[in-house]
Amino acid sequence: MLSFCAMAVLAAESGTTAIPFAGYIGYGSQSVKESGYFAGAYVSTRLAEGDLAFQYSYTDISYRDGSDDLAQNDVTIAYGKKYGENLYIKGGVHYIDTDDLYTDGGFTLFGGVEYIEHMPYTFGADLYYTNYSSFDPPLNVWQISPYAGGRLLENSYGSFYFSTRYNFIAFKSAKIEETIVGMSSKMGGGSTRTPFSIVRYSEYTDTYHSVEIKLINYYKAFKTVAAVWVGKEAFAVKDDGFTVFNLAEIHKGGLSLYTSYGYSKSVTIDVGLSYDRFTDTKNGEDSGMTVFTASLGYSF
């Protein structure tokens, strides 16, 4: 649930940043899911004139019908480096170990480029490729996310910035059109026959579009971010590759608010709250998902 670009700045200034985090997930009554929690740690450090980041998180989700909990481990490694005065290039990999049979062993490769002006204005683009080999045929998801932002104004209430991001997601999938079951005759005129089945698939392409807008305020030791997104997403990648939505659900917009407090030059405290609407794949109902997150960052 962290932004690699923001954390890379901390790493560049302080050398190393360590952030343990935890959160709670609540689902609406329409969902077959009941609740969940997650916990993990993020570490970034300077390495070979760049920023190396690592994140591990564990998620557990329970169901209303008493089914076994869904347990999942996520591991992300990313590296970013500044070139010249304005250019920042990053890339990495995200791996999923999960009880979900279709997305277990899935991985995401990602990269991006960002240009930062001194004004400051920022624009860039991220590219994500996700592979889920347990689907039959394997599911490959592509996502491109261009973004831009800049400073709005500065007054007695602090400095205000904005950013906007467009996400385009496309993937190929397949559905069964026909299944043929029969008995094959034995070669040479024998009477023994063996069963066979033929499954015919047809491929189709799904595409999804979404737009996210953020308003960011810096006031004394506080940083506050309010965000809203509209559109549709499936198998989306968020937070510069550190968050991957691997379950087959269609998300339909949401909003979030989080605040960071700099207790000292080396210690920060973060709390956040977000709400998303999504379609539950098990019952086809639209439901809500509320996520509360808290983290403690230490730079040294």
| Positive or negative torsion for Cα 115, 112, 58, 257 | positive
The pLDDT value recorded for residue 204 is 59
E strand segments, the chain: 16-27, 33-47, 50-63, 70-83, 87-98, 107-116, 121-132, 139-155, 158-185, 193-219, 222-231, 233-234, 237-238, 243-244, 250-262, 267-279, 286-299
Residues 213-236 as b or e (16 or more Cβ within 10 Å = b): ebebbeeeeebebebebebbbbbb
Q: Please state the pTM of the whole predicted model.
A: 0.86
Q: How far is 228 from 274, CA to CA, in rounded Å? A: 9
Q: Contact at 8 Å (CB) between 215 and 238?
A: no
As for how many domains the chain has, the answer is 1
Residue 192 confidence (pLDDT): 61
Residue located via tokens 């450090």? 45
The rounded distance, in Å, linking the Cα atoms of 296 and 77 is 20
* Type and span of the H or E element at 11: helix 4-14
116, 156, 215, 227 alpha-carbon torsion, rounded to 10°? 140
Spell out, as residue ranges, where the chain has pLDDT lower than 70: 1-14, 119, 173-204
Strands 33-47, 193-219: pairing is unpaired
pLDDT the model gives residue 5: 44
**Shortest CA distance to 235 belongs to which of 248, 226, 225, 252?**
248
- Cα 128 to Cα 144: distance, rounded to the nearest angstrom: 6
CATH of residue 118: 2.40.160.60
Structural domain containing residue 10: 4-299
